[in-house]
Chain A
């Protein structure tokens, strides 16, 4: 069984060359009352509820880094620019994005290069979120074409900016429902000189998550905190990443080991092994098993994570924790409701929320993909969406049923 994640029925894809072109297509869609599916390179197709649109608008030809100022810790790029291209341009200057992108390709079996626009639309944040914030936190400026066909900017290129409402945050994670992003500006940070990962072996879920939390409350600035359960002969791994100048790293690794050592034997990973490990975690690769499995992404306070997983144990085929336990990935065997009947109540009891990340189209049309909202919150969400897209021409139905 394959998911055909990108098989939403769109007969025609338009890829404008500039922002004005995006505006014209949106205006035309409004005029013709013909909704658009919004996409970048399609590597995250499969995320969200299916959209019914005859036409897709792709931003993949809006490319290019438009501003790179290392001394001001800032980078801007057009929406269709590959994330890898921005990262390469930054690396040349010894910098990287202030947050760690999450890569959905292994989950969806997609290929191609994820774009800046898709990264923002999905607020796709990897392991470093635990200390450095999410994509939305590093995003300081956007340009977009709203569902009214109007070009707007919010934020800018400076770090501190409270001029007008922060529409930047609304754009991040909006899955193309309030506007078509045309350009994004991010905060950057220096690339650390080196990194290592400290691995504690053999802890159970509760002890592993407790160790992650214990590491996060030290002053040593742990930039990755993930727990990978035992698999076959491999014992469970409680993984803690440190990134810094070489000299600081030596001190901090030893200090962290001392703080956690009594919890179990520890290993230190060298730079290439550490990098490879976190690249996998930043793509939920530790979860991967048979392609037919359905996948949930659960956010809850780290202190309630292990108990939540214990409750879900009967349906879990595989799982792991990132973000100090605050992000739990679980795979379940195929079921008509993707086990929503078990997952949702348990997650709600843990005061968390769950997103059905991977499931066939039909399942994602029938089961709530995103956490259902209380009526007042749902009303506000719809009102705010309508403030940008009154006719519902941009990705209608992506985030909630119409």
Chain B
């Protein structure tokens, strides 16, 4: 099968399955506990679909108190738990294990309170990312982080992975838009952290819970920062002969004091694939493409785009197209937003998620091509150019195990290259199981041990989402050593 190992299931837990299920049923009534194999199958994987593990049981609590009771029960019984939002993790962050109980937040999806004047909103975390914005759109507000899975992904998952999106150049990622949480510890304590004030007292536990990949506890409610919508937004599309020229234009725009809401880059292969699919009018003769979006009133948009266009021309833009209507704007974004789907139509692919210092883009793209050529694989590059988040899509054939192994090997080399130039392994997808073994590339053992000590402060028995983030081999010895 595939290359990433999971720890062997604990036979003592498997043997006690009936007893554990009975215990869970006593805490969560009716269909909130899922036991049959057919129904559990829906939870056996996430968006890293090459990996599947049937969980021991699945619990879908309806209240924070039920979550607390289930966690306390599992803690007492020594049963691992895997928290789950919508299961859209591309890194295997929600992959179950056979001896673990999956706890999903899907039944807790209500909006609890909206305070427009304070620009905050309180939700249960099973609500989808788009559901949050949808609930306040009629008031002229939105929730800024916009991961591409936003139709399906939950706020719980966004918090666990500190999700980003295309617009974080201006608005930041989840951690910058999260003000408070109701947090349930593995012991079953319900803790309020932060709130609706603009800062929180004491050590910033909220900051370290956000992005802890479900390894610290479960977040059942959250207070989010919401923002008034801009008066308008408009994208402009530029074609460049080379990636170098496009990269230089990005640097020049930022250097000129303009911070667009989004700057998206696509290379030649990505342009062709997206254009074949979306017919967005992308310049096929270009070696690279930039989509730059700005916000403001009509006058402001005209003026900012004129400035940006002048800069792009100076840096060798061979074509440019400004959206003059909403339909044209949608067309420009259509190609980019359908990139992953378009790619999936022609080939299986793995989507990498490194971040690099923007200035190193040309050399990293060159290196990526070399790496993939060496494996005989094609690669298309999509890049959030403003914030350095690079998504190389390595194409492979799922029916050919050798091809997948090669793609995984190329992906690993690409991430090593990102770290080498001063970047990181993952910009927005998280470590999960996917990049677990690569953590030693970016971090020293001392640093990883320190992170594990923080986990243990929250979860001393190492039961929360235990097989993620840290290299499997170093995890348990360190766990014992640090205890």
Query: Is B369 close to A, CB under 8 A?
Result: no
Residues in chain B near residue A299, CB distance under 8 A = 197-201
What is the distance, in angstroms, from A284's C-beta to the closest C-beta of chain B? 15
Interfacial chain B residues near A177, Cβ < 8 Å: 203
Chain A residues in 8 Å Cβ range of B425 = 163
Q: Answer whether A146 and B428 are a contact pair too, CB < 8 Å, given A301-B197, A381-B202.
A: no
Given A71-B255, A160-B384, A172-B207; A150-B450 close (CB under 8 Å): yes
Contact of A160 with B195 in the complex, beta carbons under 8 Å = no
Task: Given A190-B257, A351-B195, A380-B458, check contact A162 B211 (CB 8 Å).
Answer: yes
Contact check, A377 vs B191: say whether CB atoms are below 8 A apart.
yes
Q: How far is the CA of A177 from the CA of B358 in the complex (A)?
A: 34
- A301 contacts B359, C-beta separation under 8 Å: no
Nearest residue (CB) in A for B418 is: A158
Inter-chain contact A326/B118, CB cutoff 8 Å: yes
A376 touches B257 (CB 8 A): no
User: Which A residues lie within 8 Å of B323 (CB)?
Assistant: none
Any A CB within 8 A of the CB of B300: yes
Given contacts A158-B423, A399-B202, contact A133 B172 (CB under 8 A): yes
Which residues in chain B, 146-176, are within 8 Å of chain A measured between CB atoms? 161-162, 164, 168-169, 172-173, 175-176
Q: Closest A-chain residue to B388, C-beta based?
A: A158
Q: By the criterion CB–CB under 8 Å, are A251 and B427 in contact?
A: no
Q: For B446, give the chain A residue with the smallest CB separation.
A: A150
A218 beta carbon closer than 8 Å to chain B: yes
A149 to B386, CA, bound (A): 37
A218 closest partner in B (C-beta): B228
Binds B, one of A7-15, A330-338, A367-375: A367-375
- Chain B binder among A288-296, A312-320, A382-390: A382-390
A232 within 8 A of B: no
Does A52 count as interface, using CB distance less than 8 angstroms?
no
- Separation of A173 and B205 alpha carbons in the complex (Å): 11
The answer to whether A190 and B191 have CB atoms under 8 Å apart is no
Interface assignment of B98: CB less than 8 Å from any CB of chain A: no
Which candidate, A58-66, A81-89, A123-131, A197-205, is the interface stretch facing chain B? A123-131
In the assembled complex, A167 has its CB within 8 A of some CB on chain B? yes
Number of interface residues of A (CB under 8 A): 88
What residues on B are CB-neighbors of A168 within 8 Å?
A: 207
Q: Which residues of B contact A217 (CB under 8 A)?
A: 116-117, 119, 140-141, 228
CA distance A150 to B358 in the complex (A): 31
Q: Provide the residues of chain B in CB contact with A245, threshold 8 Å.
A: 257, 303
**A304-342 interface mask toward B, CB cutoff 8 Å, 1 = contact, 0 = none?**
000000000000000000011011000000000000000
Q: A75 — which chain B residues lie within 8 A by C-beta?
A: none
Instruction: List residues of A (257-280) whose CB comes within 8 Å of B's CBs.
Output: none
Contact of B204 among A152, A170, A190 (CB under 8 A): A170
A159: B residues at CB distance < 8 A: 168-169, 355, 386-389
Q: Are B205 and A381 in contact (CB under 8 A)?
A: yes
Chain A residue contacts of B389, Cβ below 8 A = 158-160
B454 interfacial by beta-carbon distance below 8 Å: yes
A300 interfacial contact with B, CB 8 Å: yes
- Give the distance in Å from the alpha carbon of A50 to the alpha carbon of B116 in the complex: 40
Which residues of B (230-288) have their CB < 8 Å from a CB of A? 230-231, 250-252, 254-259
Closest B-chain residue to A297, C-beta based?
Answer: B199
Contact: B454 with A165, CB < 8 Å? yes
Decide if B422 touches A156 in the complex (CB within 8 Å): yes
- Output the nearest chain A residue to B195 by Cβ-Cβ distance: A351
Question: Known contacts A159-B387, A160-B168; is A326 also within 8 Å of B198 by CB?
Answer: yes
Extra inter-chain contacts (11) besides given A162-B431, A376-B191, CB under 8 Å = A72-B388, A152-B450, A163-B439, A170-B208, A172-B207, A299-B199, A301-B195, A353-B200, A353-B201, A371-B202, A383-B457
> Could you list some 16 contacts between A and B, CB below 8 A?
A72-B358, A130-B198, A133-B172, A150-B446, A157-B357, A162-B173, A162-B428, A165-B455, A166-B175, A166-B210, A174-B203, A214-B117, A248-B300, A351-B196, A377-B193, A380-B191
